[in-house]
Amino acid sequence: MVRVKYTDKDIDLVARMMRAEAEGEGKQGMLMVGNVIVNRLKADCLDFRDLKTISHVIYQIQGGNYSFEAVQKGNVFYNRAREVEKRLAKQTLDYWREHPSKYSLWYFNPSGECPPTWYNQPFTGQYKQHCYYEPIPNTCEGAYRY
């Protein structure tokens, strides 16, 4: 059973995002970024209501800006996805979930320590330079669905 419906174009788009956002953090870091994308699609709550496709998640605009820095700055388009990123993207879309991104809807790379909350959501853990945050319990059941 796959986690979300997707197309070959979705695999490529997620793979490009994973590379643009976390290539320096290796395969595990890229998987975690991909997991946040999938979680946002599944969540249907908070800032992520009515997102129906991978493309909707990646190109979502919040507060006048794209949600992901790689889209804001355009670097999601600088490099094509390699086969390794495509395999990782498919793995995430199909089944992969792991702490600290397992239920996370947000991540960012701070200039210092990870703050205990991000947009009032609790810190769930850190992987290399990225801090991960999941929704407050009972505010977004969709984020906790497989």
Domain boundaries, the chain: 8-144
* 45-49, 57-61, 73-77, 127-131: range with lowest mean pLDDT: 73-77
| CATH class of the domain defined by 8-144 | mainly alpha
pLDDT tens-digit map of 53-83:
999 999 999 989 999 989 988 777 678 899 9
Q: Among residues 88, 41, 91, 87, which one has the least CA distance to residue 67?
A: 41
1 has a pLDDT exceeding 80? no
Phi and psi torsions of 137, nearest 5°:
-50, 140
pTM: 0.95
122 has a pLDDT exceeding 90? yes
Contact present, 84 and 27 (Cβ < 8 Å): yes
What pLDDT is recorded for position 61?
A: 95
Beta bridge partner(s), residue 125: 132
85 has a pLDDT exceeding 90? yes
